[in-house]
Chains A and B, each alone.
Chain A
Amino acid sequence: MDARLAAMIGYAILNVILVLLVAPLFEGVVRKLTAKIQSRQGPPLRQPYYDLLKLLGKEDLESGEVPGMQRAAASAALVVILSVATLVPMGGPAPLHEAADVILLIYLITLCGISTLLGALAAGSTYSLLGMSREMMTMMILEPLLAVAIVIGAVHTHSLRLPTVLNGSAYAEGAVPLAGLLMALVLLLALQAFVGRVPFDISEAETEIMEGPFIEYSGAKLALFKYVRMAKLVVYSALFVALFVPWGNTWFYPANLVLFLGKVFVLVLIVTVVGATHARYRIDQALRYYAGLFAAAMVALVLAVFGY
């Protein structure tokens, strides 16, 4: 086999293992830090690992309208988010970049959301359909935001290849990087909504109000969806880091990895502090907020076309 191909596949597998191992740890950090802000002791850092293992050991109840599609949707969601992880550079180069380009990245991210929607639709209970409609509304306005960020990068670098776009390409070379800074601010404000945490966890994990799309899931299927939620935190943070703060990489892979994990940790801290101090938004308040962000993203796109 070609040495470069072997290196690509090696990096891809490393990325997947990294996301699988590290995602529950960051979720544990989120829960522990939320507890500290609420002046209590909180669960140990390894608690999400215990949660996932316990869920895998429970009985597999068949419930909901179409149990086969429920199982398929849960597995599909996790597989899709892990394949997104193979396309995003996490310390190394973007693995598998020969096999994909930016359009496929956008589609895979949307496919992950659609798997969640299909899972909710397959469950068929009233609460899950309600959660699904809210998730659909949220997705319809948030995925274009991410697409605009990537398109700005593509406009600046005049290419759609993964290593060039996911390498801080939002900042224009030469002129004042107005579009890049504006888009960085917009995506930072929207990061909370992408990963589905308070104040924007309107559809998923809305356990106190309506149970959301996961109401009919139990046992291993629920473990898969919880894993997807944890992995989304890492993958979206990695995308943000790759698009806007990719600097500081050396030739030494473990040092890159540590730097990458540090950057993701800073983003997780921001997500946690915002989550612990806010209350949940209603769907109409949230949509108005996203609409404002989308208008700013359009302004950034126009600026990017003009070369800023």
Chain B
Amino acid sequence: MSWLSKLKETSICLQAGRVTLPYPAAPRPTPPRFRGRPIFDPAKCIGCAGCANNCPAREILVLDVCQEIRIIKYLGRRCTYCGRCADVCPEKAITMSQEFETASNDIHDLTQEMELFMGTCQRCGRCFTEPGPLEQLKLKGYRFDALAEEKWVGRSLAYLEDQPVVRDIDIELD
């Protein structure tokens, strides 16, 4: 009958012993490329705010207090630990650590705030602005390719000049 199979099942399960991990008592290692909480290193950060522009959850906030001081704040609440901020940081100032024991009773415990000094120009005293490619998208005249001459136009200088065709860029188009 099925009684024998149930008894056999019981004896198999009892032979397996106890598989429970003694977790809070013994530490539990993480796999090698595990992405835990991102740690921001203020010594390496240059304040480019690339991480803030790239975060899908808008988790990193940037405030320019004055011309020379920029506050970058990481709120921990919505972070999905995707690692895009660490990927895009040019100075490798963000590391995805292996910490996963981040529970607490106050959500503001996860914030990391950095106050950074932005370098100024030695001659005029103003800070550099970063016309990165994304910023240049907002400017007018994004593509000035000369269709008549069939030439690719270098954009960064194009909108400063009168004539659209300013430079030939050697690109083999075929």
Is there a chain A Cβ closer than 8 Å to B16's Cβ? yes
Instruction: Among A36, A273, A277, find the residue whose CB has the most chain B CB atoms closer than 10 A.
Output: A277
Q: Are B10 and A39 in contact (CB under 8 A)?
A: no
17 residue pairs A–B, Cβ–Cβ below 8 Å: A36-B14, A36-B18, A37-B13, A37-B14, A38-B13, A39-B13, A39-B16, A39-B17, A39-B19, A40-B19, A41-B18, A41-B20, A273-B7, A273-B10, A277-B9, A277-B10, A278-B6
A38 to B20, CA, bound (A): 10
Q: What distance in Å separates the Cβ of A199 from its nearest Cβ neighbour in chain B? A: 11
| For the complex of A and B, 9 pairs with smallest distance between CB atoms | A277-B6, A41-B20, A39-B16, A40-B20, A37-B13, A39-B19, A277-B9, A273-B10, A277-B10
The count of chain B contact residues (Cβ–Cβ below 8 Å) is: 11
Query: Judging by beta carbons under 8 Å apart, are A39 and B18 in contact?
Result: yes
Q: Is A276 on the interface with B (CB-CB < 8 A)?
A: yes
What are the interface flags for B1-31 relative to A under an 8 Å C-beta threshold, 1 for contact and 0 otherwise?
Answer: 0000011011001101111100000000000
Interface flags for A262-284 (1: CB within 8 Å of B; 0: not) read 00000000000110111000000
Cβ–Cβ < 8 Å partners of B20 in chain A: 39-41
* Closest A residue, CB atoms, query B11: A37
CA distance A276 to B12 in the complex (A): 13
Q: Chain B residues near A277: list those with CB within 8 A.
A: 6, 9-10
CB atoms of A276 and B19 under 8 A apart = no
Contacts of A40 in B (CB 8 A): 18-20
Q: Please determine whether A276 and B16 come into contact, CB atoms closer than 8 angstroms.
A: no
36-88 of chain B: CB within 8 A of chain A: none
Chain A residues with CB below 8 A from B7, complex form:
273
Could you say which residues of chain B place their CB within 8 Å of the CB of A39? 13, 16-20
Q: How far is the CB of B1 from chain A (nearest CB, A)?
A: 12
- Separation in Å of the A281 CB from the closest CB of chain B? 13
Give A247 to B105 CA distance when docked, in angstroms: 60
Q: Which residues of B contact A38 (CB under 8 A)?
A: 13
